[in-house]
Amino acid sequence: MAQYIYKVALHRLRVILPEGLDPTSIIPSFSPFVCEEEGDVLFSMHVSLGTAPAFTQMEEIGQFDCGGANHGVYCDAEGSYAFEISLPACDGGLLSCCMTASPDFSVCRAVLTGNDMRQHQFGLNNALMMAYAFAAAEQGTLLVHASVIRHAGYGYLFTAPSGTGKSTHTHLWYKHIPGCDLMNDDNPVVRFVEDEVRIYGSPWSGKTPCYRNIWAPVGAITRLEQRPENTIRRMEVVEAFAMLLPAVSSMKWDKRVYQGICKTIALVIAHTPIYWLGCRPDEEAAHVCFDAISVRK
């Protein structure tokens, strides 16, 4: 076995791989996050290859659709968890990983099933993403489904259901607003650090390979909806909370995770302007949004 340390949004995590399994092949998106610093880790992930274990002694919480991929979730009487992670249906829907986790997700084990490297990559990447989100839930940390563009030192998050146009809108900023760069296109990390809301790049960026070990203070968070006209308004607190909560990786049935995430969302809303944007996929939408939400020093 060989261990590797990574640091994502200031959280260190340990991945322990069996001999012969190269981290640059199995989790290539983690390469920019390699960490040589010593210190405590948020969680450890012990990885092995093998057949799927049976979770017959555990209670099934449910089967959940996660971006077209099915995740089965189980829990035992002591609060430990098990997850079955399958490929998206468009890729065959095969089981790719079974992960077990201690109640606080500090110790996790992933069994990669099948013989295909892509299957292993998908399974371990998703296992690490869930372990990270749930282990960090009480530490002012949110894994958010969003696309993030940076301008003049500030990060701007755009959230919406998949297929609504988050990536399209950030691309419009990149194309039409000088000085922009993409920080992450699917799952950035939001943290409340030193009385400041920050956005961090992560190893998880959906279909866009944007794995950047960078951070910026958050300028604003905006919810997108497709509309025939471009219009924007600032959200009230209750509306903003109701919008942001579904965009964050969570487990509503787990009191520790859910309360930690709700507390952090409240801090984010108290320190960050939240907007609703109705827009077309055009240049005007980028300018309307930029003029309303960009930070003026």
pLDDT at 270 > cutoff 90: yes
pLDDT digits (tens, 9 = 90+) for 169-206: 999 999 999 999 999 999 999 999 999 999 999 999 98
Record: fold of 141-293: Rossmann fold (3.40.50)
Q: Where are the domains of the chain?
A: 2-135, 141-293
CA separation for the pair 3, 157 (Å, rounded): 33
CA separation for the pair 105, 91 (Å, rounded): 29
CA separation for the pair 19, 276 (Å, rounded): 49
Mean pLDDT lowest among 43-57, 220-234, 265-279: 43-57
Mean pLDDT of 234-249: 96
Encoded amino acid at 141, one letter: T
pLDDT at 160 > cutoff 80: yes
Whether 189 and 143 have beta carbons less than 8 Å apart is answered as: yes
Q: What percentage of the chain exceeds 70 in pLDDT?
A: 100
* 209, two tokens: 């390979």
Can you say whether residue 217 is alpha, beta or left, with left for phi > 0 and alpha for psi between -120 and 50 degrees?
beta
Q: What is the largest CA-CA distance in the chain?
A: 58
pLDDT at 280 > cutoff 90: yes
Considering only residues 278 and 92, tell me which one the structure prediction assigns the higher pLDDT.
278
Q: Please state the pTM of the whole predicted model.
A: 0.95
According to the 3-state scheme, what is the secondary structure of 149-179?
Answer: EEECCEEEEEECCCCCCHHHHHHHHHHHCCC
User: Which pLDDT belongs to residue 124?
Assistant: 97
Mean pLDDT lowest among 106-110, 149-153, 160-164, 253-257: 160-164
CA separation for the pair 86, 95 (Å, rounded): 4
Backbone φ and ψ of 295, nearest 5°:
-80, 125
| Torsional sign, CA 13, 31, 257, 150 | positive
Q: What is the Rg, in whole angstroms, of the alpha carbon atoms belonging to the chain?
A: 19
